[in-house]
Amino acid sequence: MFYNKYPSPANFTFAQAGKSNSLQFKNRKAQLHITSYQNNIHRIHLTAGETWPENLALSPLNFPDTLNKPTAHFTDNQLVIPAENQTILGVPEASIGLNGQASIFQFLVAESTRYYGMGQKSFGELELSGYRTVNWNTDVWSDFHWAQWGGHPTDPSYFTTPYIAVKFAENQYAGFLLHNPAPTFMETPGKDDSRVFVEWQRTSPHLILGAYDGQPDLVILTAESLAELTSKFNQLVGTCPRPPIWSLGYHQSRWGYGGHKDLINLRDQFKKHEIPVSGLWLDLDYMDGYRIFQTNESLFPQKVEGTAKDLAKDNIRIVPIIDPGVKSEPGYRVYDDGIKQNVFCQNTEGNPYIGLVWPGETVFPDFTLAKPREWWATYSAEFRKSGFGACWVDMNDPSTGPVDPSDMLFQNGNHKHHLHRNQYSLGMQMATFAGFKQAAHNERPFILSRSGFTGTSRYAAIWTGDNVANDFYLKLSITTSLGMNLSGHIFNGADIGGFGGNSAPRLMERWMQANFLFPFARNHSNNGTKPQEPFAYPATTRENVAHFIRLRYQFLPYLYNLFIAHERSGAPFLRPLFYDFSGKNLDEINDQFLVGPNILQAPIIEQNAETRGLVLPGKQPWFDAATGSWMAPGKYVLQAKRTETPLFFRTASITPIQPELPTTNTVNLHAPAFLLAFPEGWRGETTTTYVADDGLTDNHAQGEYTEIQITVRGTKKGLEITTETLHQGHGSITPTFLLTPGHKFVKINGSRAKQSPHRLRLTSKPILLKSINHT
């Protein structure tokens, strides 16, 4: 498949309205189905006999209730999508087109329209005008030359999300989702001359969304803000269930860690240097000859269970890799059983399809079918019970090495490869998730995946694939994660430090500082590179990196509650500045971001930078975590101090943290300290809620959680803080409060509070706050 060639509307025949919702396309007909749902959601899909017999997506969408009569319609050969304060129009006489199995939708847009999302893209930008892109899950390091992926954008990438968020005007937003696992494409208008060296390279003046095959199925959501649109979309595709809190800790991985000896040595080194760690990861080396679900027993003299019990004393879990490829080897039980059960993908001759990956000749389970998923789940459950605490599923693009994947057929050889490729990893995630629930039915599974598709958020976190130790990928970690947060998948993160190449001390410091509050935080490196554990560096770097790892654990109560807020409402975890603030060209700021609603970070993303620009948006001041002072909104130039990352708290924010900087991975959710960022003389009222549960099981769904509400009022006299228990099903929450200076009078639940000096080290030297308690 060509990655840099795109279908042209000139080769499509466009629909003319027929009778009874039929569409006429020159020599054939299709049936148009339009459904409108509550909350301004519309679905437009076509059926045409055997052309597209059904929608092949594995993961259904969570549509709200259907309206009795659709408000969207196809009139005068034009799509019309009404919303509360806007109308989205298809291109007249060219709204819906067909070209063989391929389909296309075209919409009218103004020159001022802006575009966001698209999932995991490595363009390095947030605003995506003037791009053509294909969605096709790709093994980037295998399918592109290193001269490109080493430090330049590659497209497509590992993870497919055929979704784009569109800003037509202020208070006029829409989201477009192609609910189709076949390869899809998008084209956005734009006039960025830096990407145009001949005139015909300009993109279309219309917004184009299409698919190379598969049932045409377009979902359109409209909203009055990006926040409303994103929450609505996340709920449509399925929010990420709250993860086990240990998975939000720091993780150490390297291709080269083998078994018991390596794991215990790592544990001991982290303890020696008082650096918290929650997961120690095993790449391919732990396997017996790259045979999945088969551990090299010589590496685990006490078996995996014995090593796991040893590490569990320090609340550390072992997280091994699992690839989908099964070694084609008679006598290997997983292979023999798979052949007997007929669960592998077939080739065009009706035999198991063979690829060339780590074990050599390799066969692949057909995760598009229920029976192979159930078969895989059985092995996953056995694997989980052996002592492994989680897993990461890799190479599930699927990667077939140098062998053309086109011959890998699905659905017992009846479906061509391209119809399911983008959701192959989703099927693997579903099967692994099911197996882990079989093994530990009441524990929240943690699965990390390289590839994914719409619906992956329900089953797995994503790391953004193989990257390189350089400034390009450090910056890309921000734009990629933000794009995914706007596209239905919040639980993601990059390999900190870079997987390929050697991460220099200053680069590792900057990467840890930039990503320490990301949803997922794993340091992972390639075999043959220099070690990049914190303690592998000189003392200055080790302590700088260690501080931000500890700081991550200090912020875990806040990060965990961001996941709970997402689970409930669909709110994203990381946000671009323009998500919460208006302002000219805020969507062109690609190196700053918000962590939830409270925190703004502007990391140093060039390892040798001496300064960096800063924009503080909005109309209220920001509390500087480095100096303990307030900064007015506006533009600044900051010194790029080696030990700091610029971090700011929003006015009137209430942020739960651990009271002290931790040196272990223990998190007490029931005794948070709330950092209250309120400037002197502040007036108004703000409220937040905070949830504590056991951080591991599904018991919260049966009411085993405790939730409190904290309200802060600013009056002429000072601040009044009230706490209220909204639900008590898992012990009591005993909060303390840390307040920014300048408030002479504070009440807590009606009683005068005593203020005591409290020093808190966040991103630089300790700053002076006030610890407040009842008198």
Do 600 and 622 form a contact (C-beta atoms < 8 A)? yes
Concatenated DSSP letters for 423-477?
GHHHHHHHHHHHHHHHHSTTBPP-EEES-B-TTGGGT-EEE----BSSHHHHHHH
Is it true that the peptide bond before 402 is cis, omega within 30 degrees of 0?
no
**pLDDT above 90 for 335:** yes
Can you point out the beta strands (E) in 558-633?
A: 574-575, 593-595, 599-601, 611-616, 622-624, 630-631
Q: CA 30, CA 44: separation in Å to the nearest integer?
A: 12
Confidence class for position 62, pLDDT limits 50, 70, 90 = very high
Residue 737: what are its φ and ψ, rounded to 5°? Answer: -130, 135
DSSP string, 324-378: SPEE--TT-HHHHHHHHHT-B-B-TTSSBP-EEETTEEEE-B-TTSHHHHHHHHH
Q: What pLDDT digit, counting tens, does each position of 75-130 carry?
A: 999 999 998 888 999 999 999 999 999 999 999 999 999 999 999 999 999 999 99
Of the chain, the percentage scoring pLDDT greater than 90 comes to: 94
| Residue 199 confidence (pLDDT) | 76
Residue 217 CA to residue 211 CA, distance in Å, equals: 9
pLDDT digits 0-9 by tens, 153-181 = 999 999 999 999 999 999 999 999 999 99
Is the pLDDT at 775 greater than 80? The verdict is no
For 200-214, the pLDDT digits (tens) are 778 999 999 999 999
Q: Which residue has the tokens 């899909």?
A: 45
> For the whole model, what pTM was predicted?
0.97
Structure tokens at 611: 């300064």
Task: Please work out, in degrees rounded to the nearest 5, the angle formed at the alpha carbon of residue 494 by the alpha carbons of 441 and 210.
Answer: 85
